[in-house]
Amino acid sequence: MTAAVTVYWRPGCPYCIALRTRLRLARIPYRKVDIWRDPDAAAFVRSVADGNETVPTVRVTSEAGRESVMVNPALGEVRRALTLR
């Protein structure tokens, strides 16, 4: 299985911009989903963030297929989630 990172974000979010910049600099590929344009994505974020639309929310699937969801994670947390077995 291929590892995957999805960043749920919204325009104007400085934390989202910072995390996406760190991911790019670390050469970690990711897919971004704008929760203001995707109602299903917004519902997912609310389901994992105590009913709030807190971003960035990140969903990581490791190469072993283990899924992790983190709200406003540091780059190190994303890296660790990618290596979970």
pLDDT value at residue 1 = 62
Q: Could you tell me the domains of the chain?
A: 4-82 (3.40.30.10)
pLDDT value at residue 30 = 97
How far apart, in whole angstroms, are the C-alpha atoms of residue 56 and residue 9?
Answer: 5
Task: Please compute the mean of the pLDDT values over residues 37-59 and round it to a whole number.
Answer: 97
Per-residue pLDDT of 4-24, as tens digits, reads: 999 999 999 999 999 999 999
Per-residue pLDDT of 24-34, as tens digits, reads: 999 999 999 99
Starting at the earlier edge strand, list the strands of the sheet with 31-34.
Answer: 31-34, 4-9, 57-61, 67-71
Q: Are strands 57-61 and 4-9 parallel, antiparallel or unpaired?
A: antiparallel
